[in-house]
C-alpha cells in the first residue's frame, strides 16, 4: 500500500506540494492507496521562489500519470518531453513563465523499480531498522560542499535548488537522475518541509516504532511542524509487499 500525508505550510494558503500515486494526484490530504502495477509514486514540490509552483507540480504529475505498462518510450525521454511541455505552456503565461518544481519518485512496473529525481525532494529505502537516503539534493549547498567551498556553503541558503523541472530553462533538468532501484519492503519520500526539520534518526525511530504507517506519516508531519517547519509538507510511505 501507499500511505500519504500532505499539507499546506503556514506560509501558504495553497500547498505547492503534490503527490502522485498511479493515476491519482493528491494535495493537502491524507490517503491510503494501492501500489500501482505500472505507474509512479512521486512527491513534487513547486518552487516557492517562482510564481506558479503549485501549477508546475500538478502539471508534471498529471503528465506522469499517463505512463502505462504499454508505454515503451525511454523513461528519461518521457520526462524530458514533460519538461519541454511545461516550459512551452508556461511561456504563454506572463505571470507564471518561470514556474518550476522538484520531483522525486519511484516508477513501479510489475515488480521492477526505477528511481527518478531532480531537486531537493528525497527518497529513502529501509534497510533493517535503518533508512538509507538514495537521492542527493540538487542544491547550492551540496554543490559548494562537493567543490570544497566549505565556508561559502555555511553562508548560503541551504534550500536553494540548482536543478528542477521548468524554470524557463531546459538546462535546469540536466541533472535529472534516472536509475534502477533495488527491491525494497519500504520506501519513504519527503519534501524539504519535512526533512529539513526531522532528522534521519527521528525518521528511523518513527518508521520502526509502533502504529500503522498512516499514523507514522502523520507523526512525521506533526514533528516537522513542532520543529518549526512553515513550508508545505509531504510524506509518502510505500510498502509494495502489502495488499
Domain boundaries, the chain: 2-134+164-238
CATH of domain 2-134+164-238: 3.60.40.10
Q: What is the pLDDT along the chain (243 residues), one digit of tens a residue?
A: 999 999 999 877 889 999 999 999 999 999 999 999 889 999 999 997 667 889 999 999 999 999 876 666 789 999 999 999 999 999 888 788 889 999 999 999 877 899 999 999 999 999 988 999 999 998 655 655 565 655 554 555 667 778 999 999 999 999 999 999 988 999 999 999 999 999 999 999 999 999 999 999 999 999 999 999 999 999 999 998 775
Cell of 2: 501507499
User: What Å distances lie between residue 208 and 40, 113, 134, 156, 240, CA to CA?
Assistant: 25, 23, 18, 34, 17
Amino acid at each position: 500500500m501507499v500511505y500519504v500525508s500532505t499539507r499546506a505550510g503556514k506560509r501558504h494558503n495553497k500547498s505547492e506540494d503534490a503527490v502522485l500515486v498511479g493515476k491519482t494526484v493528491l494535495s493537502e490530504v491524507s490517503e491510503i492507496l494501492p501500489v500501482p502495477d505500472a505507474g509512479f509514486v512521486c512527491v513534487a514540490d513547486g518552487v516557492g521562489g517562482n510564481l506558479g509552483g503549485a501549477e508546475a507540480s500538478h502539471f508534471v504529475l498529471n503528465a506522469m500519470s499517463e505512463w502505462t505498462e504499454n508505454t515503451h518510450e525511454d523513461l528519461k525521454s518521457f520526462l524530458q518531453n514533460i519538461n519541454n511541455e511545461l516550459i512551452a505552456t508556461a511561456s504563454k503565461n506572463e505571470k507564471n513563465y518561470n514556474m518550476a518544481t522538484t520531483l522525486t519518485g519511484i516508477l513501479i512496473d510489475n515488480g521492477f523499480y526505477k528511481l527518478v529525481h531532480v531537486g531537493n525532494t528525497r527518497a529513502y529505502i529501509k534497510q533493517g531498522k535503518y533508512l538509507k537516503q538514495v537521492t542527493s539534493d540538487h542544491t547550492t549547498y551540496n554543490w559548494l560542499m562537493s567543490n570544497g567551498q566549505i565556508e561559502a556553503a555555511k553562508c548560503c541558503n541551504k534550500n536553494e535548488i540548482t536543478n528542477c523541472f521548468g524554470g524557463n530553462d531546459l538546462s535546469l533538468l540536466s541533472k535529472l537522475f534516472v536509475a534502477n532501484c533495488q527491491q525494497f519492503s519500504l520506501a519513504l519520500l519527503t519534501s524539504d518541509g519535512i526533512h529539513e526539520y526531522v532528522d534521519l534518526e527521528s525518521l528511523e525511530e518513527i518508521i520502526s516504532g509502533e502504529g500503522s504507517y498512516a499514523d507514522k506519516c502523520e507523526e512525521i508531519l506533526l514533528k516537522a511542524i513542532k520543529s518549526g517547519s512553515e513550508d508545505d509538507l509531504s510524506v509518502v510511505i510505500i510498502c509494495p509487499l502489502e495488499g
